[in-house]
Amino acid sequence: MKKNSGIFFLLTIVVISWACSKEKVYYPAASTNNINDEALHNAVMKASSEGGILSLIVFRNNDIIAEEYFGDNTPTTYHPVKSVTKTVTGILFGIAKDKGLITNLDATVDDYLSEYLRPEDTLIAKVTIRQLLTMTGGFDWFELGIWDQYNEWAQANDHLTYALQVPIIDTPGSVFAYTTPGCQILSAIFTVATGEKLEDFAWDHLFQELGMIGERPWGEDIHDFNYGGVTLNLTAKDMLAIGRMLLNNGNYYGKQVVSSEWISESTTTAISFEEYYFSTGYSYLLWTGEKEGVYYYFANGYGGQFIFVYPSLNLIIVAQSELNNPYRPSGTQWYNTICLIMEDIFDCVE
């Protein structure tokens, strides 16, 4: 009996030692999708320890590799996604074009909004939908990191009228200038063209198609036009659904939500620039870029709201970050979050 007990004890020690020697698995789907599990775990721990990030999802090859929520955030928490709103607006223009409600991206502001223009508004009258979608309207505007102009527009009583009266200093179509008020012009054009606000159209033709259940708050101006560039609220899972639809050429679980032609056109760089390390171009309300030969595009929101899509890697990374958080200014939080995505998480992918 003693002898058998000794053998059992030795076997137990061997099994325990073998189990302990095995590398801990943090994300079971990581290795099968060629993602370094330990490196991804370290990236998630970095996000958690630094604070500020609320949601983080890594998706590859139809698998959710990692889905993490911090603080009080949950899979059903609505969060203001700031300028990710712009990308949704761009998608809605694609759906409206597919349906024949908007037929010509080279139609002008005057074609749709003449009643809102003054006689002296001759330059903005000639700006096209395409130029507004690509942020090449020629506006005398700068809001990336310097918020004086944006804040003045945000505090205005009439956001559309203010947008239509922003000075134009460059030939439309020639120079990139990130201009949120231009998206308010797009919103007004959309409603005049389709007869529906962005929010209502999105509910019927985008949100429900992506499986979103319940209201998605979206602010509007005094003309009842939704804000084309900001104020939409989404969950992290909503953002993932949008990313999946983009990655799958407009298709979501067998439904062609928007045409593959629109996805191809709207995710291909329309105007290039060299000013920003995180992006080298812009398309239809989407940023574009390339790292280590890998092309990507992304929705980009103030304070650290992102949907990154790497088509050749079948990879999507979603992040939501706290606005005005106690850890650091929103601009720094944005920078920390985009670096986590573009460096820590991207480098996990093999």
pLDDT tens digits along 325-350:
888 999 999 999 999 999 999 999 98
Tokens of 180: 């949120």
Domain count, the chain: 2
Of 17-26, 170-179, 253-262, give the lowest mean pLDDT range. Answer: 17-26
- Please say if the pLDDT value at position 16 is more than 80: no
Shared domain for 222 and 154, answered yes or no, is yes
Shared domain for 211 and 346, answered yes or no, is no
Shared domain for 246 and 285, answered yes or no, is yes
C-alpha 315/C-alpha 261 separation (Å) is 21
The pLDDT assigned to 327 comes to 86
Shared domain for 75 and 102, answered yes or no, is no
- Please say if the pLDDT value at position 4 is more than 60: no
With respect to residue 9, please indicate whether it lies within any of the assigned structural domains: no
Shared domain for 257 and 204, answered yes or no, is no
- Please say if the pLDDT value at position 212 is more than 70: yes
With respect to residue 23, please indicate whether it lies within any of the assigned structural domains: no
Q: How confident is the model at residue 22 (pLDDT cuts 50, 70, 90)?
A: low
- Please say if the pLDDT value at position 207 is more than 90: yes
Shared domain for 287 and 190, answered yes or no, is no
Tell me the CATH number at 69: 3.40.710.10
With respect to residue 321, please indicate whether it lies within any of the assigned structural domains: yes
Q: Which of 211, 234, 257 is the last residue of a domain?
A: 234
- Please say if the pLDDT value at position 23 is more than 90: no
Calculate mean pLDDT across residues 232-244. Answer: 98
- Look up residue 74 and give its amino acid: T
Q: Which of 95, 48, 325 is nearest to 204 (CA)?
A: 95
- Look up residue 187 and give its amino acid: S
Shared domain for 262 and 204, answered yes or no, is no
Q: Which of 202, 234, 266 is the last residue of a domain?
A: 234
The pLDDT assigned to 299 comes to 98
The pLDDT assigned to 59 comes to 98
293 Rama class: left (phi>0) / alpha (psi -120 to 50) / beta? left
Shared domain for 217 and 118, answered yes or no, is yes
Of 17-31, 45-59, 97-111, give the lowest mean pLDDT range. Answer: 17-31
Q: Which of 216, 234, 252 is the last residue of a domain?
A: 234
**Mean pLDDT, the chain, whole residue set:** 93
User: For residue 122, what is the enclosing H or E element?
Assistant: helix 122-125
Q: Could you tell me the residue range of the domain that residue 56 belongs to?
A: 35-79+237-350
Shared domain for 91 and 225, answered yes or no, is yes
Phi, psi of 203 (to 5 degrees): -60, -45
Tokens of 227: 């804000």
The pLDDT assigned to 13 comes to 42
Calculate mean pLDDT across residues 93-120. Answer: 98
Q: How confident is the model at residue 252 (pLDDT cuts 50, 70, 90)?
A: very high
With respect to residue 4, please indicate whether it lies within any of the assigned structural domains: no
Shared domain for 205 and 241, answered yes or no, is no
With respect to residue 254, please indicate whether it lies within any of the assigned structural domains: yes
Calculate mean pLDDT across residues 295-302. Answer: 98
Q: Which of 176, 145, 182 is nearest to 160 (CA)?
A: 182
**What does the longest C-alpha to C-alpha distance in the chain come to?**
104
With respect to residue 112, please indicate whether it lies within any of the assigned structural domains: yes
The model carries a pTM of 0.93
User: For residue 56, what is the enclosing H or E element?
Assistant: strand 53-60
Shared domain for 69 and 143, answered yes or no, is no
The pLDDT assigned to 9 comes to 45
Considering only residues 275 and 299, tell me which one the structure prediction assigns the higher pLDDT: 299
With respect to residue 213, please indicate whether it lies within any of the assigned structural domains: yes
With respect to residue 172, please indicate whether it lies within any of the assigned structural domains: yes
Shared domain for 70 and 145, answered yes or no, is no
